[in-house]
Structure 1
Amino acid sequence: MKKTVLILCLVLLLSMTACADNNNATPGTGTNQTDTNNNTGNNNNTGTNGNNTSGNNAVGNNGGNGTGDVLTGTARGYGGDVTVTVTLDGDDITSVEAVGENETQGVGSKAIEELPERISEADSTDVEGVSGATITSNAIKEAVDKALEGKK
């Protein structure tokens, strides 16, 4: 009888552990930010969530044609719009700032933090995106490209 009760307790403990919510998990991890198609550019990418990240949603706005231009662009990210502000010195990208308040914390937010600096350093959007944040990375690059179209 004691063995049966002990075995039942162990089974109950294991099932509770398996079903427990892991509070130590990093928020936003998993496959919901990954673009399963690994597509880039303006070709109607969809991630595993089915959200459209096509270039058709991007909007550019230029601030003028002289040195020190400040341009803005917007594109659809994973959680909503991602807006970038691009500062130019002639044709050189001197800084990029990105805002995407609805992007997944710990995943898309990592792209918002890291990718603008990569684009500024490379003076181009031809940079590698942030791993695991493909949709947000593509949206940032797309928004920058759209903003730069206003300069041409």
Structure 2
Amino acid sequence: MNILSTVFLRYDNKKIYYPNSVLITKPISNFYRSPEMGDAVAFTINLSTPMDTIIALKKAIQTYIESKPKHWNPKHSVIVKEIENVDKLKMALCVQHTINHQNFGDRNIRITELIFELKRIFEALNIKYHLLPQEVHLTQVNMNNWRMPMHT
């Protein structure tokens, strides 16, 4: 909204300019205030996870997203972000909600359900992440030279 005119964004993203003197005489309702919001859920799996299992993971995610058309836009992506320390495959699930940024409480509920579903999928496909073996240094303490301090 400017001093003399207001810019509206039409459904096809075309900008339409109206003089404010005309708008003051018309009823106006805000149909769509902001675009649908997106989210990304980052996760890490073992680099040794077979490709067949990763394909099954993507398919299971797609099935879940498509089963919730009132929550999620069917367009989503599972991306590989990086390989770290030659043992971790860092990935992310990028989704688009069917709500906009004004429904932040609903967003939190949906993203929580999505993360729990990812956990169920990981368990069903036996997808895990294991830390690499860590080097441990042990030192022997000679108990013969050790004395209990005396308190007086």
TM-score range, shorter chain: under 0.3
Give the TM-score taking structure 1 as reference length.
0.28
Whose radius of gyration is greater, 1 or 2?
Answer: 2
Relative to total residues, which structure has the larger strand share, 1 or 2?
Answer: 2
Relative to total residues, which structure has the larger helix share, 1 or 2?
Answer: 1
Give the TM-score taking structure 2 as reference length.
0.28
